[in-house]
Amino acid sequence: MSASPTSEFFDLGGDLRVRRLGFGAMRITGEGIWGEPADRDEAIRVLRRAVEAGVTLIDTADSYGPFVSEDLIREALHPYADDLVIATKGGLTRHGPGIWAPVGRPEYLRQAVEMSLRRLGLERIDLYQLHRIDPQVPVEDQLGELAALQKEGKIRHLGLSEVSVAELRHARGLAEIVSVQNLYNLTNRQSEDVLEYATAEGIGFIPWFPLATGELAGPGSVLAEAAERHGASPARLALAWLLHRSPAVLPIPGTSRVAHLEDNLAAGDITLTDEEVAALTALA
């Protein structure tokens, strides 16, 4: 008996349809997510190939580079296809490779939105996500400013990143939230309760770092054996499991190489059996 994903698509906010298997544009920057990529031409090829292969959701952030990822997306893909959704984020600042600091002051968030619009060449951002809730600023002020920008027509839908169920519930009382982006993969299920809440509420769940397999991919492991049966890499099986995990899951695997992109996108062609899904789920 098979446990195929219920749908290839998900409607963010009920009106913004995306193909569930998207692309995360963090890894097209330099080491430490800082500066220009080692191979700019390959980064451009990756972005173009993703869209050619049917990806309709590209996730980025102003802090990737910083600014490099958004600039590359515009260079590679503008003018954008009608069905392409560019989701970006703001609220994290960069002071060096691997360094991230939240800033949620309303005036800063407004500036971040305006600059992302300019860099991406958009009049409205389809999905704008608060990259982190700044603990130094009332969340009412942070989401209040983004909701104001939404009313001004500069943002279509709002999302959050790295939040708890309690934070997500509170945020939904302040603004309409259509997506949440948390760390979640085959080896890390710390956001299981957030995934369950998002699924029940029809909120898109975007797992970042979706490809992690760790020791689960070792010789003779459940994952390695399943991958061998399907003639696929363990990473591809990990992505396929995410697609089967919930119809609300929107994985955004990222890479800086076309060959790796092709392997990731092939996860959408894998149908796992109920037994395989159960065995992989039990690995947690």
Kindly list the structural domains of the chain, giving each domain's residue range(s) and its CATH number in brackets, ordered by start.
9-212+245-256 (3.20.20.100)
Query: Mean pLDDT throughout 233-256?
Result: 96
Reduced to 3 states (helix: H, G, I; strand: E, B; else coil), residue 218 is coil
Checking if the pLDDT of 3 tops 70, the result is no
Query: Mean pLDDT throughout 214-225?
Result: 88
Q: Which segment of 5-9, 16-20, 128-132, 238-242 scores lowest on mean pLDDT?
A: 5-9
DSSP summary character for residue 78:
P
Query: Mean pLDDT throughout 70-88?
Result: 98
Checking if the pLDDT of 279 tops 90, the result is yes
CA distances from 36 to 30, 68, 76, 104 (A): 5, 6, 15, 26
First and final CA of the chain: distance in angstroms?
Answer: 23
Q: Is 64 a catalytic residue?
A: yes
Q: Are strands 23-24 and 92-94 parallel, antiparallel or unpaired?
A: unpaired
- Mean pLDDT of all residues belonging to the chain: 95
| Residue type at position 166 | A
Checking if the pLDDT of 4 tops 70, the result is no
Q: Helices 106-120 and 139-151: crossing angle, nearest 10°?
A: 40
Of the residues 64, 128, 184, 197, only one is catalytic, namely: 64
Preceding amide of 66 cis, omega within 30: yes
User: In the prediction, which pLDDT does 165 show?
Assistant: 98
Checking if the pLDDT of 146 tops 60, the result is yes
pLDDT band at 1 (very low <50, low <70, confident <90, very high): very low
| Stated pTM of the model | 0.96
Checking if the pLDDT of 5 tops 60, the result is no
Share of the chain above pLDDT 70, in %: 98
pLDDT, one tens digit per residue, over 30-59 is 999 999 999 999 999 999 999 999 999 999
pLDDT band at 281 (very low <50, low <70, confident <90, very high): very high
pLDDT, one tens digit per residue, over 123-132 is 999 999 999 9
pLDDT, one tens digit per residue, over 166-213 is 999 999 999 999 999 999 999 999 999 999 999 999 999 999 999 888
User: In the prediction, which pLDDT does 217 show?
Assistant: 84
